[in-house]
Amino acid sequence: MQAVLALEDGTIYKGISFGASGEVLGEVVFNTSMAGYQEIITDPSYKGQIVAMTYPLIGNYGVNKEDVESRQPFLEGFVVKEYSKIASNWRKDQGLGEYLKENNILAIEGIDTRALTLRIREKGAMKAVLSTQDFDAASLVRKASQSRGLVGLDLVKEVTISRKYLYTQSRDAKFKVAVLDCGVKYNILRELLRHKCNVTVFPAQTSAKEILALKPEGVLLSNGPGDPAAVECVIKTTADLIGRVPIFGICLGHQMLGLAMGGKTFKLKFGHHGANHPVKDLRTGKVHITSQNHGFCVDINSLPKKEIQLTHVNLNDDTSEGMRHKKLPVFSVQFHPESAPGPHDAKYLFAEFTQLMSKNKKH
């Protein structure tokens, strides 16, 4: 079946469908990971986006039940150079194309993903339409141009859970942690479990009062999709939690903290999406290769320097990647220390979170 990807600037890419049929709108971005496509497809942070993989061959090891990062795929569409019809791996449950069809995700192969990536790098992330129904260029470009985009859009409410649940209850756990689900990846929860935490996951709309009623030793603000400035309920909850309990923010959670402390966020030209971003920890001087997925960034200069310390910086473009409150038990990072997919360099941050909770318990 024929498929077409059209960008708002008028660029058209014709290819072949290997997912569901239909038509979807979204912001098109590129991801530079060489593997881990299943984790990328099931990352809720991609809600509202059409993801193009820069690695040319995708699907060669299939899909399994264990490596999903959420209850379902949330991205709008998937773009690859070549979809591997043969999937060979002992953990494979099904092929990627079959999985995408089952979950009603559109996908296109056979287009020049290098040209698409260069286009996005030059022009920035763009609104786009992916279709197996409409092949009229003018019609497609008009649809892309008139679509909602991401700026000013609260997409967290479309991916968060409807009611709280207990992720794990272990007798030898040392800490009780509340996770505010803005689109949390399962590996964040797994890492908390590995670090002796009992975890309760709350919907994004939960108030600080409800979270504190659990009497947690710490709160984790999760990753998630869309424009952080539009998620007003989480910003308010975060502001109400600051100073009352240790807080660890990841990705969107980092942005929530920045906004809750009076800072500002801005949209990056084409964002950071991939598993090979070098980030320097300014406290140790060490450089970590990190997994990233975000289109917005905290303006570190909009925060009071007397209170906030910049802890991490992106070595590709010098944007802020981490911060810590100088007095309160609060810190956050823009990248994904839980990886899935990607390198494990930054997993030390979960140990830092437990150390912070342990120190706070003693006071």
Q: Is 195 a catalytic residue?
A: no
Given 273, 312, 325, 336, the catalytic residue? 336
Q: Catalytic pick from 191, 251, 254, 288?
A: 251
Q: Which of 27, 69, 191, 338 is catalytic?
A: 338
Task: Give the mean model confidence (pLDDT) for residues 256-281.
Answer: 97
pLDDT for the residue 171: 84
Interval 231-257 mean pLDDT: 98
Q: Is 314 helix (H, G, I), strand (E, B) or coil?
A: strand
- What mean pLDDT is predicted for residues 268-287? 97
Q: What is the domain partition of the chain in residue ranges?
A: 2-146, 156-362
Percent of the chain with pLDDT over 70: 100
Tell me, what amino acid is at 103?
N
- The answer to whether 197 is a known catalytic residue is no
Residue keyed to tokens 């039940």:
65
User: Domain 156-362 is of which CATH architecture?
Assistant: 3-Layer(aba) Sandwich (3.40)
pLDDT tops 90 at residue 361: no
Burial class (CB in 10 A: 0-12, 13-18, 19+), 288: buried
Residue 345: pLDDT over 80: yes
What's the pLDDT tens digit per position in 152-174? 999 999 999 999 999 988 888 99
What average pLDDT score do residues 204-219 get? 98
Q: What is the DSSP letter of 44?
A: G
User: 3.40.50.170, 3.30.70.980, 3.40.190.80, 3.50.30.20: which CATH number matches 2-146?
Assistant: 3.50.30.20
- Which pLDDT tens digit goes with each residue over 84-130? 999 999 999 999 999 999 999 999 999 999 999 999 999 999 999 99
Burial of 56 (0-12, 13-18, 19+ CB in 10 A): exposed
pLDDT for res 169: 80
Q: What is the pLDDT, as a whole number, of residue 363?
A: 66
Q: Give 113's contacts (C-beta < 8 A, 6+ positions apart).
A: 30, 52, 53, 54, 56, 79, 80, 81
To the nearest whole number, what is the mean pLDDT of the chain? 97
Are residues 86 and 60 in contact, defined by beta-carbon separation less than 8 angstroms? yes
* 251 annotated active-site: yes
CB 259 within 8 A of CB 227: no
